[in-house]
Structure 1
Amino acid sequence: MTVKMTVPVAKVLAALLADPAGEHYGLQLMQQTGIASGTLYPILTRLQNAGWLTARWEDEDPSDAGRPVRRYYQLTPEGAEAARTGLAELRAQTSIVAPMTEAPPALGPAW
């Protein structure tokens, strides 16, 4: 399954690729990307449905941890490869194709 590469999706994938073998949780990803939970969690669900991510609940008792139980997300090997490819394609599409070879024309005197 393909995933549409939007700016928020690219930010989430870049954060996940910073530690591709690591487990990441929602609050951590929100802090790294600046993306709100209402946008982040649907992205994580789409990535999981596409087979790019696995998810699991931690085995921590919330009262012992003093916080809610975390859901950890981890890139699959296929997801890491697809993320790298997708981000590279996005970079290629948004970069300047040819560098400027001539200096811009000089501006006239200031008014």
Structure 2
Amino acid sequence: MTRFRRPSAQTTAVVLALAEQPAAWRYGYELCRGLGIKPGSMYPILMRLTDRELLETAWESDVPAGRPPRHLYRLTGAGRALATELAAGAPAPEPTTERASGPARLKTGWQGA
């Protein structure tokens, strides 16, 4: 695996979330909602991970009428190795704030994804 700088807290959160079910295909929007990361941050993260061959991608094959196909993501073998490395030596990602109706509430970075 090609070595690169330690990933950001958001990238680490994405990798660890995908590692929770490594064989499952996930949608970017699903990851955005589960992690509290805005799409403007999420999709560049997914593209960088794909470019580094840490994610594999596919298009949704069973698309309901009237909806375009969605892009799916899951970890490659190298991505799973990175997730193992991050889980072993990484502190939990920093919490993110997510605006709810009313005051901002605190949401942990990757739990529940």
Whole-Å Cα distance in 2 between the matches of residues 85 and 69 of structure 1? 33
Is contact 1:57–1:70 with CA below 8 Å preserved after alignment? yes
Question: Deviation digits for residues 31-86 of structure 1, max 9, x if unmatched?
Answer: 11100000000000111111110111112446x1x433210001001111112202
Identical-residue share of aligned pairs (%) = 36
Structure number with greater CO (CA < 8 Å, separation at least 6) is 2
Which has the larger share of strand?
Answer: 2
Please tell me whether Structure 1 or Structure 2 has the larger radius of gyration of its CA atoms. 1
Gaps of 5+ in 2: 93-113
Q: As a proportion of its length, which structure holds more helix?
A: 1
Work out the CA distance in 2 between the residues paired with 1:39 and 1:21: 24
Correspondent of 1:12 among 11, 14, 23: 14
In structure 1, the gaps of 5 or more residues are: 93-111
TM-score (norm 1): 0.71
Q: Look up the SS of the partner of 1:83 in the other structure.
A: helix
Q: How far off is 1:3 after superposition?
A: 5.5
Residues 15 and 79 in structure 2, CA contact (< 8 A), matched pair in contact too: no
- Residue 27 of structure 2 corresponds to which residue in structure 1? 25
Amino acid at match of 1:34: G
Matched, 1:56 2:63: no
Q: How many residues get paired?
A: 90
Q: Say what the alpha-carbon RMSD is for the aligned residues.
A: 1.9
